[in-house]
Copies of this chain bind each other. A is one copy, B any other.
Amino acid sequence: MKPKRQSAKISDVAKAAGVSQAAVSRVMRGDASFVVREETRKRITDVARELNYQPNPAARGLRTSRSLSLGIVVPELDNPIHAKIIIGAERAAAERGYSLLIAHRDDGMEETAIYERLVHRNRVDGLIVATLQDEQVGVSALKELEHPFVLVNRKARGVEHHVVINDRGGAKRAVAYLATLGHQRIAHLSGSPARYNSICRLEGYRDGLQEAGLDFDPALVVEAGYTMSGGAAAMRKLLDSAHPRPTALFASTLMVAAGAMGVLREAGVRIPQDMSIIGFNDGAIADVLAPPLTTVRTPLENMGYLAASSLINHIQDGGHFAGAMLKDIEIVERKSTSAPGG
Contacts and interface: CB of A to CB of B under 8 A. Distances in A.
Contact of A58 (B67, B102, B258, B285): B67
Interface string A90-112: 11001000011111101000000
10 contacts: A1-B148, A1-B318, A3-B65, A4-B146, A58-B58, A58-B61, A77-B90, A78-B80, A83-B83, A255-B284
Contacts of A106: 91, 94
- Chain A interface residue bracket vs B: 35 or more
Interface stretch (A116-124, A162-170, A180-188, A192-200): A116-124
A249 interface: no
Contacts of A315: 1, 3
Interface stretch (A27-35, A49-57, A207-215, A322-330): A49-57
Contacts of A61: 57-58, 61
Contacts of A91: 106
Contacts of A255: 284, 288
A56 B123 contact: yes
A315 B2 CA distance: 7
A138 interface: no
B287 A265 contact: no
A87 B78 contact: yes
Interface in A1-37: 1-7
Interface in A29-74: 52, 54, 56-62, 65-67
A42 to B, nearest CB: 22
A342 to B, nearest CB: 18
A146 B58 contact: no
Given A122-B99, A318-B1, A56 B62 contact: yes
A84 to B, nearest CB: 6
Which 6 pairs between the two chains have the least Cβ-Cβ distance?
A58-B61, A1-B318, A78-B83, A58-B62, A258-B288, A290-B290
A314 interface: yes
Interface in A307-326: 314-315, 317-318
A148 B83 CA distance: 27
Contacts of A56: 62, 123
Given A62-B59, A87-B78, A102-B102, A120 B258 contact: no
Given A52-B120, A54-B121, A228-B287, 6 more contacts: A83-B83, A90-B102, A258-B288, A265-B290, A284-B285, A288-B288
Contact of A57 (B87, B99, B121, B290): B121
Nearest to A317: B1
Given A86-B77, A102-B102, A123-B58, A290 B262 contact: yes
A139 interface: no
Contacts of A317: 1
Interface string A121-160: 1110110000000000000000000111000000000000
A222 interface: no
